[in-house]
Chain A
Amino acid sequence: DQQVKQNSPSLSVQEGRISILNCDYTNSMFDYFLWYKKYPAEGPTFLISISSIKDKNEDGRFTVFLNKSAKHLSLHIVPSQPGDSAVYFCAASDLRNNDMRFGAGTRLTVKP
């Protein structure tokens, strides 16, 4: 079941520019959203999260925006750096239940 969708398998941006990664979800019961970053040969690592009571959360160069009415969230990375090149997974959770659903991931390449 594709409850969380990342429709762009890949994204390429120039160093210093903004990277925008998008994610859509279908389950209105989701109340907590996360972004994970994955390098090759490693497991995903937590990057940033947002609760459904907020519409924006910022942590340094990373900002997550949530549009509940559109069931859409996005991750902005400004400025993008070559070390940001990785696969980014969007995840959504219903905190009353016990699972977390992930999107298919978007491979970000930041070119020097």
Chain B
Amino acid sequence: DSGVTQTPKHLITATGQRVTLRCSPRSGDLSVYWYQQSLDQGLQFLIQYYNGEERAKGNILERFSAQQFPDLHSELNLSSLELGDSALYFCASSVRVGANVLTFGAGSRLTVL
């Protein structure tokens, strides 16, 4: 157990729908990162939050949004889902802003039918 908790582990939904993925960072970590891993692809950086504020943005689609709450948990919202959004979504956390070593959760597998 890495200490980073992601829910749900698996999610199956239809095109056009909206889902929310949740992440609780490791205790003491203030920074949360979201990554997408599509089939046979590497980990694509989506977005990073530090202590509630957005700090960096990667290849995140406009249909996707995220936020970090006062208790430091984070949610990734995916809307108007398309077949190509099917992927593993990983959350990672670290103590500070500058990415050093990230601790990853087990991921949320999203399947869009």
Contact flags A88-107 to B (C-beta < 8 A → 1, else 0): 01010101111111111100
- Tell me the bound Cα distance from A27 to B108 in angstroms: 30
A34 at the interface (CB under 8 A from B): yes
In whole Å, how far is B112's beta carbon from the nearest beta carbon of chain A?
20
Chain B residue with minimal CB distance to A107? B40
Contacts A99-B99, A100-B33; is A43 near B4 (CB within 8 Å)? yes
* Chain B residues near A (Cβ < 8 Å): 2, 4, 31, 33, 35, 40-45, 48, 50, 55-56, 58-59, 90, 92, 97-107
Among A1, A36, A98, which residue has its beta carbon within 8 angstroms of that of B48? A98
Chain A 67-112 interface residues, beta-carbon cutoff 8 Å to B:
89, 91, 93, 95-105
List 6 extra interface pairs beyond A99-B56, A105-B42, CB under 8 A. Answer: A45-B2, A96-B98, A99-B99, A100-B102, A103-B42, A104-B42
- Tell me the bound Cα distance from A94 to B42 in angstroms: 18
Contact between chains at A99 and B58 (CB < 8 Å): yes
A41 at the interface (CB under 8 A from B): yes
Among A41, A42, A45, A98, which residue has its beta carbon within 8 angstroms of that of B99? A98
In whole Å, how far is A104's beta carbon from the nearest beta carbon of chain B?
4
Contact between chains at A98 and B98 (CB < 8 Å): yes
Contact between chains at A95 and B100 (CB < 8 Å): yes
| The 6 residue pairs across chains A and B that have the minimum distance between CB atoms | A43-B104, A98-B56, A104-B42, A102-B43, A100-B99, A98-B55
In whole Å, how far is B74's beta carbon from the nearest beta carbon of chain A?
14
Chain A 22-80 interface residues, beta-carbon cutoff 8 Å to B:
32, 34, 36, 41-46, 49
Contacts A6-B42, A32-B100, A102-B45; is A97 near B106 (CB within 8 Å)? no
Chain B residue with minimal CB distance to A96? B98
In whole Å, how far is B42's beta carbon from the nearest beta carbon of chain A?
4
